Amino acid sequence: MDLAAIARQLATLDPIARAAAFNDLQGGFDRLLGLCFVSVSEERVVATLRVEARHLQPYGLTHGGVFATLGESLCSVGAALSVIQQGKNAVGADNNTRFHRPSRAGSLLTATASPAGETEGPARRIWRCEIRDQEDRLCATSTVTVAVLDPGRSIGGERLKLEGLGGA
């Protein structure tokens, strides 16, 4: 299925149904991490993650890479949805994640990403993500610059394709 067909299919779904589709079809690192999308749109992406022992660093705190991954994943999904109807792809190009408060196993993290209102020209979008614990305390923030790529673009020596959502 090409990007235009995927875009048409996603456009028929409300944000909660899109989240369910992403959860059913996700693969790779997001699945390995245990990311659960709650709501997905071009303007706001929300997901949760229950922190488990596998997410911890040696001191028993949630590993910083978990927070960075949440920011990258949500910002990239939102940016991709905003350009997919133009037949374009979007991938993270820069991720600046700041840690504000630690969390531990058992914590329920909720990440919410939205456009920052800034762009770096037509080929870049800037998104921000806040990650909060179950008591609504801010644990981390990510600012992610997302590269907008034209159809057929090669990255890492291969043509970019959307895995999991019907991409071939």
Structure tokens at 45: 């992406």
Give a yes or no: residue 31 inside a domain. Answer: yes
Domain that residue 151 falls in: 3-159
Q: How many structural domains does the chain have?
A: 1
Tens-digit pLDDT profile for the chain (168 aa)?
565 677 778 888 899 998 998 888 787 888 999 999 999 999 999 999 999 999 999 999 999 999 999 999 999 999 988 888 888 888 889 999 999 999 999 999 999 999 998 777 778 999 999 999 999 999 999 999 999 988 777 777 777 665 555 443
Q: What is the pLDDT of residue 156?
A: 75
CATH code (residue 92): 3.10.129.10
For residue 20, being part of any structural domain is answered with yes
* pLDDT attached to residue 168: 35
Closest CA to 128 of 138, 136, 88, 137: 138
55 in a domain, yes or no?
Answer: yes
Looking at the domain assignment, is residue 133 inside a domain? yes
Give the pLDDT score at 1: 52
Q: Is 23 helix (H, G, I), strand (E, B) or coil?
A: helix
Q: What is the pLDDT of residue 167?
A: 41
Q: Which residue has the tokens 């907008």?
A: 148
Separation between Cα atoms, residue 72 and residue 113, nearest integer Å: 9
Going by C-beta distance under 8 Å and a sequence separation of 6 or more, which residues neighbour residue 162?
A: 3, 6, 89
Q: Answer whether residue 43 is part of any domain.
A: yes
